[in-house]
Structure 1
């Protein structure tokens, strides 16, 4: 055994060493000279030196075209076996171009995104389908962004009140026809209330150090963007300075008692005056409706929900229920509505009270004109959502029936 090992490894060892080294060299040369062909798809296209005032159709904000190209590469097998679309990029120079041209891709147009890969020496041939690159006018437009009503549910214990501002603006630039299409289509931004937690609103209210009229959730920066796929593959941040004011307002879902009896009166549409004879029509007094000095009043305890105490204090003695004397066909049932008396004066009173309140830091930081606009919008939102409730949190409903000249009003038992 010992003599066998000596013959294999020791005898004539210089020749054997030289043979081994030559074998390695031959293997290396052969492996490096082996060629193959590979097709790689989804390769990015970058456009350089675009003339001033121009852009390329489909060009994104990152300098890449939305369209991608498929290349068939011939060259070194070892390189192509490992090469992917993430390792290369096609770079096309737009210098001296005017309108449109057919792009041709050669080795000089290939850019290696991997510093360890040298494409120019190891790629021999490139083939691809022809495609057209078209220059177009670069324009900039200020596009309105409409803040729509949010989706989802408000956190437990809270009610959604309003969102403000209702509209922002976004400066966008791009190909003229694309920007025009975006402008005609419009941009909308919708938030999801499910993304806001009860604990977040609780923390906001407690941090204010007082019982706030509302709880304002200021929209975080990473929510203030819109998706415009035909212009950019990534969301575009809203650059309007007023975006810093963007907030979603909530109120507590609590019943607030109305401490004044609510008058109830009759309205006869002008076209029915002769037919109904309003002088003879009358609301019948009963357990729910009392007659006080000729004024009919609802004598049941009623509540409001989804509004603030200040709002209710402002309007509580200036609201009434109006019965509309316009019977539905083949029925004697009448509709009714809650009316605000002199709403403009009430709005001014509410806004004036809050403008003089310097303890609300969020409001104090707003510019006076913006602050007043915000408060007026809040008041109108309260009015639009105002609903009467019973002590058991159920909506207050009435059954109103006209029988001859008498109008009987009872509380509805329907859910």
Structure 2
């Protein structure tokens, strides 16, 4: 057995908080601890810091600061967008369009709305997880009041045709939401140009080297939506609750760092990802999941035949490699990934999946180590399987 090292390749689940972000947050956990709704100085300092972070976020995604609302994270942002829009527009109709590969923070609110009399259409995706815009067009009805399609899939990394879908939504006068939790720092966003037809966009700080428990909802000016949180008058009377000042400051600094030199960052990540991809596809009976080109620069998702994913993760962990089989929010479930089922993988293949997502502190040496360890572990697990018959075929 070779030397054990620590390799973190589960950045789609969460990222570490960068030191610059922590430094920006610390004053608001110590001397500037005041309630930002207060009139005295340590409260006003917090309020000013919130508005600075709002400007940082708005600049990073090409929005106006007045269109940014801070939340507790991606889940709250998704729930607010979906339920808030549905209930605000229920007199105009009760039909919603989404996809079967969304994060559960979108799927479960849609299922909840179905119990309240709403009708939800789940658009089909192809074997790469791509939504066909023509399917969106075909699904639109007179009573359609909302469309939600994620910007990029958290499990298989496929990037959806968001500008094209947004154009269709705009033509029909239907509010369009996208869960963009995975794309900050990987895909440039511009709510005034490329993404001009997106009405609502969800993001979460801990996916781009900021703190957990803080996120935001971009809400285009004029979008019809009901409040999700009721109480005080914070966030321009749209999202009640004393603001998480330190978290908001951290989010602002994190998104500023994540969107600086984005092309150079992606070039480095893609280089490591592509070398990892080529090496892993040398393992027999393996398959890349998701689109081979239209995918996030940090994401790889594989299926290995004759292997159970949980055993693979545990053995990788014993060698110091952190990875996942899919969404961290579903890691306690024994059911195959709903995303892999939606792209047509049978359960026995879907259960043998592995997701590797790279980040800022990964190195070429990390790639070398994974390529050394993973084939060995796959071989050991297959040696224990009574069904495995060695071949040399692999798919891309």
TM-score normalized by structure 1? 0.19
Larger relative strand fraction:
1
Larger radius of gyration: 1
**Per chain length, whose mean CA-contact separation is higher, i.e. which structure has more relative contact order (CA < 8 Å, sep 6+)?**
2
Q: Judging by fraction of residues, say which structure has more helix.
A: 2
What TM-score comes out, normalization by structure 2 length? 0.20
